[in-house]
A and B are shown apart, each in its own frame.
Chain A
Amino acid sequence: MRRGPGRLYAAPALFWLSVFFLAPLVIIVAYSFMTPGKRGGIEWKPTLDAYRAIANPTFLKVTLSTIVMAIGATAITLLIAIPCGYYMARSKHQNLLLMLVMIPFWTNFLIRIYAWIAILGNEGFLNDILLATGLTTESIRFLYNRGAVMLVLVYTYLPYAILPLYSTIDKFDFSLLEAARDLGATKLSAINRVLMPNIKGGILTAFLFTFIPIFGAYAVPLLVGGTESYMLGNLIADELTKSRDWPLASAISLVITLVTTAGVLLLLRANGAEVLGGSGGEERVIQEPSPVGGAR
């Protein structure tokens, strides 16, 4: 580690992220304490109105249902992803299985949502079959409710959980499980007491990769949800573009930012660098699961 041209090399990145990432966040903080302008924007009159609005029951309801949705979808995703990662890690055909998980993962985010509209929509595949076989006489409305949002969220983020879990479990020494069994542990207790503690880092990474984007979900509830499956992301967009209450949109964004950052910091502190995939520390975050294809 030397002094040298470091400042010069770092300058463009420092400039870009300070101006286009940090400054916008600071502006959001400032806007959240101001009075809404007539057609969007703000007037520079300080007020706590936005925070009072957040505390009203409608907003608390959406916040609560967002939290419930995020926890529920994340829990289902992890419960499916752990056995999947385990099976992949123990398989002799790892590359093939990895491919099967990666293809949906590489498919465009909107196309993946659209596929469910094509299946569950009023004119979709499932209604086609039901009508053709005479099981129903009218098409059934499968979409535009909380169940549909939950289903599509799980579908969208499942690969984000499977990949880090697979790469963690793959490094696990399976002879430890055999040893536990030989020493008299039942299969279940061997998994709970030997495997699980060893793959904690992978589980936490998978949790972060699914919980954060689901907590801030926007597109999925917009496309397959109804009014009762509104999430915080949709609320922000509405305040911004329809009600044009920018301070309120800023305040809600700030809440999401704080919750997310606090969550990540707590997990990192509790588990050290292990959370993000091993000895390398935080910079390994996107290395393990997807060299190409992104981690969004």
Chain B
Amino acid sequence: MRKRSSFSRSVFIGTITFLSMPLVVLIVYSFNASKSGSWSGFSLRWYVKLFTDSPQLWHAFSNSAIVALSSALVATVIGTLGAVAVNWYKFRLRSYLRTITFLPMILPEIIIGVSLLVFFSGIGLRLSLFTVFVAHVTFNLPFVFLLVLARLEEFDFSIIEAARDLGASETQTLLRVILPISMPGIVSGFLTAVTLSLEDFVITFFVTGPGATTLPLYVYSAIRFGVSPVINALSVVMIVGTVVLTWSTRNFLKYIAAK
């Protein structure tokens, strides 16, 4: 064995420091007693304020949760059916479907946000939580489609043929054969969609209307002009929440994939 390169090691250590240092600063400062500026003792007051005295924040959180779950659900149903069609069946517009599921993922988010805003105003649809929902389904759908498709590609058409030969109807084949085998892809598509939806700022920013503030939009308005201690506390809760959620999700996915 030759001596391990020390160059890549120092770059990596530097990078990890660079990546985690801002988060560590946020965590430390969320326990700071004073509003801003220098450290003035340990305190939980910002956490208390976050959980007991931030009604708008919690309203935004509930909006985010509603949009994330509903848009992920709709995107998962539509995307899964689309993936089944593309993987196993021949139909007109098949390559067109592949293109329009690929394109939204490579375009910068702002393009999708702007074009949807122009579209909604063109058809006279008032901006609201509903338009946010529509936008989220639109950017989530391609991800679900590709994740399910990747799973389906592991199987070939003979399992469908077998089901049909044994007398299953089209609906039975879908519900009893296709859906169970694609379940790991469907679950990971759904969870990815929830995550992307909770995370999205740019697209939501353009298509939101009065009263339809989501959590990222709330954070945006709070940090627009500088430091906000409640947002420090919120950040820590979100970082811990995301890590716990993602960690358990990954293990859950491994578990169903292994089953």
Query: Is A20 a contact partner of B20 (Cβ separation < 8 A)?
Result: no
Query: Is B16 a contact partner of A21 (Cβ separation < 8 A)?
Result: no
Residues in B with CB closer than 8 Å to A230 are: none
Q: What is the interface of chain B mostly: helix, strand, loop, or mixed?
A: helix
Residue of A104, A115, A246 ringed by the most chain B CB atoms within 10 A: A115
Using A24-B119, A90-B4, A114-B231 as known contacts, say yes or no to A257 and B92 having CB atoms under 8 A apart: no
Query: Is A104 a contact partner of B19 (Cβ separation < 8 A)?
Result: yes
Residues in B with CB closer than 8 Å to A250 are: 114, 118
Residue of A14, A111, A124 ringed by the most chain B CB atoms within 10 A: A111
Is A196 close to B, CB under 8 A? no
Residue of A83, A116, A208, A236 near B11 (CB, 8 A) is A83
Is A103 close to B, CB under 8 A? yes
Query: Is B122 a contact partner of A110 (Cβ separation < 8 A)?
Result: no
Using A111-B219, A112-B22 as known contacts, say yes or no to A21 and B143 having CB atoms under 8 A apart: no
Residue of A122, A162, A233 ringed by the most chain B CB atoms within 10 A: A233
Is B121 close to A, CB under 8 A? yes
CA–CA, A118 and B233, complex, Å: 12
Using A24-B115, A109-B201, A118-B232 as known contacts, say yes or no to A294 and B192 having CB atoms under 8 A apart: yes
- Residues of A219-246 at the interface with B, using a CB-CB cut-off of 8 Å, are 219, 223, 233, 236-237, 240, 246
Is A27 close to B, CB under 8 A? yes
Using A7-B91, A7-B92, A218-B202 as known contacts, say yes or no to A118 and B122 having CB atoms under 8 A apart: no
Residues in B with CB closer than 8 Å to A223 are: 220, 223-224
> How many residues of chain B get a CB closer than 8 Å to chain A's CBs?
107
Segment with Cβ contacts to B, from A45-53, A54-62, A284-292 = A284-292
Closest chain B CB from A11 CB (angstroms): 8
Is A121 close to B, CB under 8 A? yes
Residues in B with CB closer than 8 Å to A212 are: 106-108
Query: Is B227 a contact partner of A124 (Cβ separation < 8 A)?
Result: yes
Query: Is A110 a contact partner of B20 (Cβ separation < 8 A)?
Result: no
Query: Is A24 a contact partner of B116 (Cβ separation < 8 A)?
Result: yes
Is A88 close to B, CB under 8 A? yes
Closest chain B CB from A157 CB (angstroms): 11
Closest chain A CB from B200 CB (angstroms): 8
List 6 contacting pairs A-B, 8 Å CB cutoff, sorted by A: A13-B82, A13-B97, A84-B12, A109-B199, A111-B235, A287-B147
Chain B residues proximal to chain A, CB less than 8 Å: 2, 4-5, 7-9, 11-12, 15-16, 18-23, 25-26, 29, 36-39, 77-79, 81-82, 84-86, 88-94, 96-97, 100-112, 114-119, 121-122, 134-135, 137-138, 141-143, 145-147, 149-150, 153, 157, 160, 170, 188, 191-192, 195-196, 198-202, 205-206, 216, 219-220, 223-224, 226-227, 231-232, 235, 238-239, 242-243, 246, 249-250, 253
Other A-B pairs beyond A6-B91, A90-B4, A287-B146, 7, CB < 8 Å: A2-B157, A107-B238, A114-B26, A115-B23, A118-B22, A250-B114, A261-B107
